């Protein structure tokens, strides 16, 4: 069996990514995707040509990310500010509308009656199926107006770059770190998502940072990172759950306040202003009980089962609930005692959820892909870090 070197795999990866970007530019029915592909194809091709010329693979990965994700994102933001209405996916507009609503009414959500008053062909954009913290990324546009630098994607990128740089600082010398970095940055589905929509990428980056910080024994900051992620999007809640179990079984109590407190704190303003609007947007709409249907309909098992009549949606939700129970039992019977095992739990758990959810997107696979590759980059003995950190906090060690 032929075993390819790391650089040979890099060459194949960038070459195939260039093909994917080119095909996207030529065939996609989504105009923001086509615009991404037209720029990213050249970036991937350049990275492929430089694989054997750039000595540091990590440096090439960061540079490639700038070419295939950050550059097309800025180009689209500038074109959008100049009047192009086809240079952002709907989620960018939704997040910016959340910021406007938060600024003017104290809640990022519209009520069911307010959504019903929107013309039918625009009603989908009235729903904001994210956690309240996501509205922070829409505040720059609400405060400063329509400029390229107030585009929500720019602020998604600011948080993402900061979080990933910090996360990979802790794993940069470990085996598999470059492959993990590629999964979190230049993997086509990841780069495409940041350039055209972007709301999932800072959430993912914050989750990776939380796991890296937990592995380094910095539980307080890990708690803040994952708490902020969960305050923005429900996809971070499985990571919160795994890290809570990790904290309970390793006695890393500093993981708990931010991980549990920040998502709950973010709910306070919308609950005080209009609790039913929160329920309508965050629960009823994703579960298929809104005034319009979610367009997230990738042909995974959960979606296909939900299309069976009668009762397919309830069957899919039942299977999703059963899977959650099974994963919960496994989590308690074999709790993660290292950040590495916690990351594996998060990756495989999210993969199961994505496959069984009645409404889902193919792009959501970026979460389990990045988490599993990041787990491989984390040290196997991070429990030692936790133990030593706990020991340093025990004043009994210094008694005579």
Cα separation values, 374 from 92, 101, 207, 366, 379, Å: 27, 36, 11, 12, 10
As a whole number of angstroms, the distance between CA 56 and CA 4 comes to 18
Burial of 235 (0-12, 13-18, 19+ CB in 10 A): buried
Q: What are phi and psi of 227, to 5 degrees?
A: -65, -40
Q: What is the pTM of this model?
A: 0.91
Residue 54 makes CB contacts below 8 A (sequence gap 6+) with 60, 63
* 349 Rama sector, left if φ>0, alpha if ψ -120 to 50, beta otherwise: alpha
Q: Cis ω on the peptide bond leading into residue 310 (within 30° of 0)?
A: yes
List per-residue pLDDT tens for the chain, 400 residues long.
456 799 999 999 999 999 999 999 999 999 999 999 999 999 999 999 999 999 999 999 999 999 999 999 999 999 999 999 999 999 999 999 999 999 999 999 999 999 999 998 889 889 999 999 999 999 999 999 999 999 999 999 999 999 999 999 999 888 899 999 999 999 999 999 999 998 999 999 999 999 999 999 999 999 999 999 999 999 899 999 999 999 999 998 999 999 999 999 999 999 999 999 999 999 888 877 889 887 767 788 888 888 887 888 788 889 889 998 999 999 999 999 999 999 999 999 999 998 988 877 888 899 999 999 999 999 776 444 444 444 334 333 333 3
* Tokens linked to 142: 């609400």
Contact 94, 127 (CB under 8 A): yes
Contact 176, 373 (CB under 8 A): yes
* Tokens linked to 117: 């008053």
């Amino acid at each position: 069996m032929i075993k390819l070197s790391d650089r040979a795999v890099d060459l194949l990866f960038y070459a195939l990514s260039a093909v994917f970007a080119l095909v996207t530019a030529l065939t996609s029915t989504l105009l923001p995707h086509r615009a991404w592909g037209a720029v990213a194809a050249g970036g991937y091709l350049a990275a492929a040509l430089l694989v054997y010329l750039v000595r540091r693979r990590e440096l090439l990965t960061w540079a490639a990310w700038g070419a295939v994700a950050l550059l097309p994102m800025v180009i689209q933001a500038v074109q959008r500010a100049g009047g192009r209405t086809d240079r952002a996916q709907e989620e960018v507009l939704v997040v910016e509308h959340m910021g406007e609503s938060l600024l003017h009414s104290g809640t990022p959500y519209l009520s069911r009656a307010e959504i019903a008053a929107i013309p039918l062909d625009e009603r989908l954009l009235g729903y904001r199926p994210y956690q309240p913290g996501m509205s922070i990324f829409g505040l720059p546009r609400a405060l400063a107006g329509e400029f390229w630098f107030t585009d929500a994607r720019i602020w998604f990128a600011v948080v993402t770059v900061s979080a990933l740089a910090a996360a990979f600082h802790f794993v940069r010398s470990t085996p598999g770190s470059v492959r993990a970095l590629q999964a979190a940055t230049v993997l086509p589905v990841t780069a495409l998502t940041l350039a055209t929509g972007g709301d999932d990428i800072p959430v993912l980056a914050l989750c990776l940072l939380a796991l890296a910080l937990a592995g380094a024994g910095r539980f307080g900051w890990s708690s803040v990172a994952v708490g902020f992620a969960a305050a923005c999007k429900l996809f971070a809640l499985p990571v919160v759950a795994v890290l809570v179990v990790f904290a309970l079984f390793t006695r890393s109590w500093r993981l708990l306040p931010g991980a549990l407190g920040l998502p709950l704190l973010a709910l306070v303003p919308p609950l005080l202003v209009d609790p039913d609007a929160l329920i309508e947007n965050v629960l009823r709409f994703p579960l298929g009980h809104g005034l319009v249907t979610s367009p997230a309909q990738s042909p995974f098992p959960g979606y296909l089962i939900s299309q069976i009549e009668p009762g397919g949606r309830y069957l899919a939700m039942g299977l999703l609930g059963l899977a959650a129970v099974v994963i919960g039992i496994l989590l308690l019977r074999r709790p993660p005692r290292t950040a590495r095992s916690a990351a594996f739990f998060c990756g495989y758990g999210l993969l199961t959820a994505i496959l069984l959810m009645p409404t889902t997107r193919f792009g959501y696979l970026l979460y389990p892909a990045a988490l599993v590759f990041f787990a491989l980059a984390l040290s196997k003995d991070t429990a030692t870090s936790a133990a030593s950190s706990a020991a340093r906090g025990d004043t009994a060690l210094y008694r005579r």
